[in-house]
Structure 1
Amino acid sequence: MSQSHAQDEPIAPVPRVTIQAFCETQSVADSIEAMAADRRMVKAHVRVQTGGGAAAAAGAGGGAPPHERLLEARSQSPEEFLEQLDRLAEVCDSGTEVIVLGYVNDVGFYRELVRRGVRDYLIVPAAPIDLVRAVSGLYAAPGAKPVGRTIAVIGAKGGVGASTIAHNVAWSFARTLASPTVIVDLDVAYGTAGLDFNQDPPQGIADIVFAPDRVDATIVERLLSRCADRLSLLAAPAVLDRTCDLTETAFDHLVDILRASTPTIVLDVPHVWTAWARRLLVGSDDVLVVAAPELASLRNTKNLVDLLKQSRPNDHPPKVLLNQVGVPKRPEIAPADFAKALGLEPAAAIPFEPQLFGTAANNGQMIAEIQPNAKVAECFDDIARAIVGRTAERRRSGGSLLEPFLSKLVRRKAS
């Protein structure tokens, strides 16, 4: 699988384990260092040493045994390396998993490695994402369900409609793509997901945030509100009876629980910049940044995109959606200029439709419920398909998601 498509299949985060890597070349050491910096490895502790299989066998008896060893096999013949593995097995802890990075593409050598208990064999050069996938695969239970995909949606500034976009895209995941979906409203004090779905649950995410030690899968399931077929909501209480000074890892356990049981998790992230918000954005499988076509949104979007590209080198770049395009008498940055400044094409441009969106908000409905055939409802479906990498079942003439909306705006301005 190519690195550019590494996230077509979500990779589970690696648990809190220790990993020793014994390398013979700098290039392999660099790949392992890059693996250790990946967002899925944030809980793991990785130590890179030189020496290959011989050094691993010589140092296996000292200190606490690691959970995994990564061995590079380069300077030895296959027979010599197998002998080193045999010596390592005599002194290695029985619970330690071994992954070998080698240069020999031979089925006989691979079978000998498997016979000695090696869990995986990767041909060098191996991309960092391939190393992450191999390490993660060691902890996937046989027959376990695929890990859920997390999609974080955040506004480049306040008031750009990011929560509305998040809720409508989640609706498309559940209704159009038939994927069981959970919306998590992370704005504990001011969240609007309950209003948008006409829900007023007595409990929600506050019960998890303020009592994390008591949270398990059963409690999370009980706190979910059913919004529609295959769509559930973990609502925010939207009350101010206590402040929300949350720790960086405040939502880690919740996300882990949801990933184990739900194929699609949409995180409605408020427009704040805290340690926990940054951690959720960097740790999500996909990020959707919602922006308005004006200067402050452009600046903030570029800052977010640059940071996420740097922090997530093995993932797809974040997607950008332009919302509220075509506000009468408001000077705007053209989508083409917005894209040029970002170096990234917006996934879509949603026109300013105050009547449609206002009616949906006041009724506690989604756009597709009010106007199923509206172009903006189709746009939400296309965004959901683009996130999961699924080819659109419906093709518009002209190809680009932007064109129907841009042509409409041109006609509006001309009139």
Structure 2
Amino acid sequence: MGDVAVIHAVTGAESATLVLRFADVGIATYASLRVVGDPSRTVTWVLDEEALRAALDELTGALPDPIDEETRRDALERAITTGAFASPATEFTIAATLGTHLIAPEAWGLIHDSRSGSATPRAVLFVSPSTRLARVPWGLVAMPGDDSRRLIELVDVLMAAPPNIVHSPRQPAGWGGRRTEPPLLVLDPRVPGQRPDSPLGSVLGRPSSDTPLARHFGELMQARRVLPDVAAPVDLFRRADADRAWLKNLLAQAPSRLLYVGHATAADGDIGHADRAALHLADERPLTASDLMVQKLPFPPRVGLLACASGGDYRFDEATGLVAAMILGGAELVTATLWSLPTAAGFRLFAPITDADPMAEAILAVDRAHEAGDAGRAVNDWQREQMRRWREGDLAASPLYWAALATFAVDGAR
């Protein structure tokens, strides 16, 4: 990956930028960590294959995606009740395992030394994982030793965009020139022929003006114009007209940012075609990453994709998934998810608490963060806040949500 993906103008207050890169070569996985602008500060290592395989198997068992013959309901129950992310104690165990087996002690030392003390901003770590490590939640991995701090407590953690995308012809939209334009909100579009409780049914439940999401977007509408232009915030949800033509028309109005909350179909890793990943709009046929790239749809500088494994580009040798399509279309920063997020109804079905809505909290966090000066750092701030709640025993702050968020950035975006 060229440094064009991560560097920007350096000022006296600028913090360090590090790049953590992994590569699968045959049966081995190689890693390197370097400080941008200081090639003498570089560490390389090879991951232990047996330990890596065990750690990744443990991670797979923690996630709410079906394994083998599991149904989606089975996977939800496992992840919420018995998986490694079911309690703070078991979550810390897997965090420590990942931290020990993925990052060498010398690399941890380099990360620790890059901290700027109490000064801000924090150093930024860009991660470029291999296909095997595409679903690792890098922020929560724990540093070995008595301190046991998490990676996200030492640095801000962002994902480097895939190099084949960074070096492709692009026309970045630019946040500076767009920030005052209305945001485009695509919230739980109604997929034709799907009942609300079907696999492609409602993600957010029955629209109501009393929900935290409706109140939030109502406040946003009072402060500024949004797209689509609606009379009431409840009209933003479950739209039956939100098809690809509708989306194309609204993108042509040059919004400041895009927030998509809904269904996505992850490309099958066994097939090897990342561009088959797709968003489900109010269309009979899903809108694939390939469709987005072929049509050259213009995307705003910031995109939030709160959809099933929308950030799965790195699972493929040629990472041309949904994140890539957004960046090729002009986005400079994309916050996506590494795995499927349980709906609020699904979480409450198995969680020991019944009044929590961590899905809504994640949506609100991304929407607010993408209004900040450095949106990726703002997402990290929310993740650190959730981590503190979780470690204090608040089970509503489940890592199934906050750890799933990954922000991809190019062209110096933070």
- The structure having more radius of gyration, on CA atoms, is 1
* Both structures adopt the same fold (TM-score exceeding 0.5): no
